[in-house]
Structure 1
């Protein structure tokens, strides 16, 4: 579709000549205006791709004033129409940063060429402006990310420093039990740093595209059963983890043969991280225990995992940022975590070409749904 050009011209006959010339060249002329106020109103109404603006207009507002308003409010490029005698006005026009000038009287070739150059110039500026804005936003995110990393590393390092200082300076005053307590703090802090560093490296690889998606045949049901057995080792007796399957992998025609009815192509390492993270979160954020349901659904073209818990839930104010790096919900209290797990989960789901969604109510529980194409 050709671009729309608003013609703003003091002389009505010249305006219609321009309209005919532009339409002959394939452009659309949705309106003609002779007053500055009218031009601004038409620009707001029609959102043209370019405005041809006569410097001298009827009424109290000049073409230069109208162009400045249109450029500021709507970011629409303006090309001026001006007579040779308008030298003083040309100096004023330069302050509005027009995309070109057409001197009267003009030839059709000059008109069309100037418009083409102006449209291309504006499109280039739009692309460059978007790229600059994206670069600024990316830099802002990076700065926030490194600031959060610094904060997250500082706490365990501070604990290690404090405990080692106490063990060094006051060793002769400490009981064996107290020494063991400080050593335990050091070990826990080191483990926390190790996990944090691993998650940071995973986030970095995911965001720079360095993680390769390697789908291989996988017995999903057996895979899930093994994961649950691992999670149960760290869960309390008050947690009841239930795994159920809806449908059958063998029932999907033209997708999986009977001989490989349970072997579905997914990236095992990524899927392990996705489900382990969701399962351990369900346990961790259900401190009083409760039932945790992991359901596997076979549907044509995809598998769906639904995980429900009866835990503390996610406050509404936190839900929008749940998958952001280092974001932790306001109701987690002293429950350990670094806010990177779900960010990595989302990356891994997207590398599968899938989607992750959730629903949650504080005090009632949370449900995550992961859709993965096969």
Structure 2
């Protein structure tokens, strides 16, 4: 062995090297050379078995292994067992460089070769290179292990693909979310393993991995993306796909990081529900305040509007008494006739204004849910004829015919008599007003279950029915245009082309009775065809609630 020690060489301290050499003289020379370089040689082994035992016992930093050893086990076989068991780096020393031997040696992943006769500089270079490579590989393995642990334990799903969009790696979370295991997904196209659709349209969304590779920048899915797992229900997710680049900046693949946002969505929905509840609470307080203001306003307006009209009506009556006592109204001259006419006009106009004010105020009370009801038992077969009596003279004067069809066996109806009287009277008033001479007005009452009642906030399902009655007021000789039927219950609506001057009215009557019918937990319908119009009132036999909603 050539001895060429360089004083500038400063090997690391406490590096132990096991020498495996079956030639004792060569072994001692190698030992002296290594120690001269500053390394420690704790032992020399001459056979493969001894090398394995010494390596297990001493656990050196490196082994300088002769390939050709005496006995049943050569250096390559011993090196393979030592590496598999102990992961100790090995440098082969040999006087042979034939290809078959080198090919066998490469399979054991050695960290270097040195040819005999060994020179000191070559030995130093081989040892230092092997130690540096071993440490570098160990650091790399530690880093890979650390990255694998992070990747395994991270809370997000991670999928790595190559430039061909083939899956290379998946962590456990990605396996759980997609339903694919790493060994099953490896080599498959990312679109097969990571399927995403639009939450509302269920149409497939472009895979962000494709965009990341093609555009060379990060890409994201929209906020309404759903992941379709292999054998499970869709999961709302958020994700980021980023291209992977090598040291030269070339794109070598992409990584997609995604996570389940179900909990976040639930938290957002709870927060939104809480905000809506707070808003509703605020709105309810404001509605209560406005309702109170409305009630106060209605009370004030009711007094302020009715008082002057009542005074006017009383003044007209007093004026008639005074003029009658003075004999002015009994005269036959033109002055007396004009006075009587003017008084009639005053009285009629005052009554119309009083009716209008009452209708407006009642309509507002119904809308504000401040209209009061007093339920009582009503015998329809006695009550309806009593209402009709008030219209008999008017019907005769209009040369109209009246028919009533009211069975005697009708059950007692429980309702608000004042409201019901107003409803039927308004319908009879309209019938008398619009029925031509020699035509017929018909009032019919029938028992009929009510299957759909809309009483303000009270809604019954279609399959729900209650015992009820149907009161129909029909008149012949007149027909309401089809386009007007849908608006006929709107406030102030007047049928086009009707004779407003002769018939009068404000268009509030039908709007008011519809509100009253709703308030009584009933409903009103209208049909008009073949020169006949029918209004039908559907009411429950007994009230569905003591205080109907508006």
- Corresponding residue for 1:290? 439
- Corresponding residue for 2:95? none
Q: Structure 2: how far apart are the matches of 1:189 and 1:281?
A: 19
Write out per-residue CA displacement over residues 300-334 of structure 1, whole angstroms, 9 at most, x where no aligned residue.
72222112101432211111112222222114222
Q: Decide whether the 8 Å contact of 2:448 with 2:468 is kept in 1.
A: yes
**Uncovered stretches (5+) of structure 2, i.e. residues with no partner:** 1-156, 160-166, 180-192, 226-235, 243-256, 295-304, 313-333, 450-466, 542-550
Write out per-residue CA displacement over residues 79-118 of structure 1, whole angstroms, 9 at most, x where no aligned residue.
8725599xxxxxxxxxxxxxxxxxx676x7xx44311122
Q: Decide whether the 8 Å contact of 2:238 with 2:258 is kept in 1.
A: no
- Corresponding residue for 1:355? 523
CA RMSD of aligned residues (A): 4.7
Q: Whose Rg is larger?
A: 2
Q: Decide whether the 8 Å contact of 2:158 with 2:258 is kept in 1.
A: no
**2:238 paired residue among 59, 71, 81:** 81
Point out which structure has higher relative CO (alpha carbons under 8 A, 6+ apart). Answer: 1
Q: Decide whether the 8 Å contact of 1:239 with 1:291 is kept in 2.
A: yes
Matched, 1:114 2:264: yes
Q: Structure 2: how far apart are the matches of 1:350 and 1:80?
A: 49
Cα distance, 1:294 vs. partner?
Answer: 0.2
Matched, 1:43 2:200: yes
Matched, 1:346 2:514: yes
**1:33 to 1:224, Cα distance in 2 relative to 1, 3 A:** farther
Write out per-residue CA displacement over residues 106-132 of structure 1, whole angstroms, 9 at most, x where no aligned residue.
6x7xx4431112223455678899999
Q: Structure 1: how far apart are the matches of 2:518 and 2:223?
A: 46
The aligned runs of 1:140-219 (5 Å cut-off) are: 176=335, 184-219=344-379
Cα distance, 1:200 vs. partner?
Answer: 0.7
Q: Decide whether the 8 Å contact of 2:208 with 2:240 is kept in 1.
A: no
**1:231 paired residue among 391, 394, 416:** 391
**1:193 to 1:68, Cα distance in 2 relative to 1, 3 A:** farther
TM-score normalised by length of structure 1: 0.57
Write out per-residue CA displacement over residues 117-165 of structure 1, whole angstroms, 9 at most, x where no aligned residue.
2223455678899999xx9xxx9xx9xxxxxxxxxx9xxx9xx9xxxxx
User: For this pair of structures, how many residues does the alignment match?
Assistant: 270
Q: Structure 2: how far apart are the matches of 1:193 and 1:243?
A: 32
Matched, 1:333 2:499: yes
Cα distance, 1:67 vs. partner?
Answer: 5.1
**1:116 to 1:290, Cα distance in 2 relative to 1, 3 A:** same
**1:114 to 1:350, Cα distance in 2 relative to 1, 3 A:** same
- Aligned to 2:200, the other structure's residue is in SS state helix
**Uncovered stretches (5+) of structure 1, i.e. residues with no partner:** 1-8, 21-31, 47-52, 70-78, 86-103, 143-152, 161-174, 250-255, 257-262
Q: Decide whether the 8 Å contact of 2:219 with 2:241 is kept in 1.
A: no
Q: Structure 2: how far apart are the matches of 1:16 and 1:290?
A: 84
